[in-house]
Chains A and B, each alone.
Chain A
């Protein structure tokens, strides 16, 4: 089976597709991030309307301020995701350029691993808030057990940490190879 050409100037359909997908996700992150930050201030301007709607639905008025908290937490999660995806995009660019084993990519992967840790930490309060909002008004028969912690995400973080080490060793080998005549 022929391998895709990933050398300098090479065209790899998979990488091209991922690049397009990443571009879309980056735009989506920006859009949703701005929405998260602006939603609560806009709601504040129409606070009376929303509080009356809450009252009609039987939701306590104290829930209103938690929408603001959710907006900030959501924006933080999206900001982390945005930086994560930007780093991934730069790594893909370096693969397209034929220079993947660069110490910069090792640094990017290490950064992505820590970003992934931060994303999981931020996901905990965010998930709790979403679950809490989802259960409003109190429904006695609805039980949510989601705590925002995902085994898959933890494994992904570990894989990225390992890949960062692999790329660092790879970049050292590449440097040695470049100095070999």
Chain B
């Protein structure tokens, strides 16, 4: 069972780069990269809120749950 981060899909839909998002949400590119590659252990509500605001989406659009 795993939480899947679908940030890449959402960025593709919005035609936005990770660098562009990093500038808009004021989070380091390194941290966003950790989130995108699924290496993050946790995500702050403030980070989630900022990403949702900039990508105009719901938390569920960014995160998914899969059974291995």
Q: Which residues of B contact A181 (CB under 8 A)?
A: 27, 31-32, 34-35, 40, 42-44, 47
Q: Which residues of A contact B12 (CB under 8 A)?
A: none
Q: Scan residues 17-46 of chain A and give those whose CB is less than 8 A from a CB of chain B.
A: none
Q: Number of A residues whose C-beta is below 8 Å from B?
A: 5
Q: Which residues of A contact B35 (CB under 8 A)?
A: 181
B39 at the interface (CB under 8 A from A): yes
Q: Which residues of B contact A179 (CB under 8 A)?
A: 34, 39-42
Among A176, A179, A181, chain B packs the most CB atoms within 10 A around the CB of A181
Tell me how far the C-beta of B22 lies from the nearest C-beta in chain A, rounded to whole angstroms. Answer: 11
Q: Given the complex of chains A and B, what is the CA–CA distance between A176 and B40 in angstroms? A: 9
Q: Scan residues 160-181 of chain A and give those whose CB is less than 8 A from a CB of chain B.
A: 175-176, 179-181
Q: Number of B residues whose C-beta is below 8 Å from A?
A: 12
Q: Given the complex of chains A and B, what is the CA–CA distance between A176 and B43 in angstroms? A: 11
Q: Which residues of B contact A180 (CB under 8 A)?
A: 40-44
Q: Scan residues 39-53 of chain B and give those whose CB is less than 8 A from a CB of chain A.
A: 39-44, 47
Q: Which residues of B contact A175 (CB under 8 A)?
A: 41
Q: Scan residues 10-68 of chain B and give those whose CB is less than 8 A from a CB of chain A.
A: 27, 31-32, 34-35, 39-44, 47
Q: Given the complex of chains A and B, what is the CA–CA distance between A179 and B47 in angstroms? A: 13
Q: Given the complex of chains A and B, what is the CA–CA distance between A175 and B34 in angstroms? A: 14
Q: Which residues of A contact B39 (CB under 8 A)?
A: 179
Q: Given the complex of chains A and B, what is the CA–CA distance between A175 and B41 in angstroms? A: 9
Q: Given the complex of chains A and B, what is the CA–CA distance between A48 and B27 in angstroms? A: 80
Q: Given the complex of chains A and B, what is the CA–CA distance between A179 and B39 in angstroms? A: 8
Tell me how far the C-beta of A172 lies from the nearest C-beta in chain B, rounded to whole angstroms. Answer: 11
**What are 18 pairs between A and B in contact, CB < 8 Å?**
A175-B41, A176-B41, A176-B42, A179-B34, A179-B39, A179-B41, A179-B42, A180-B42, A180-B43, A181-B27, A181-B31, A181-B32, A181-B34, A181-B35, A181-B40, A181-B43, A181-B44, A181-B47
Nearest 8 A/B pairs, CB to CB:
A179-B41, A180-B42, A181-B31, A181-B35, A181-B40, A181-B47, A181-B43, A181-B34
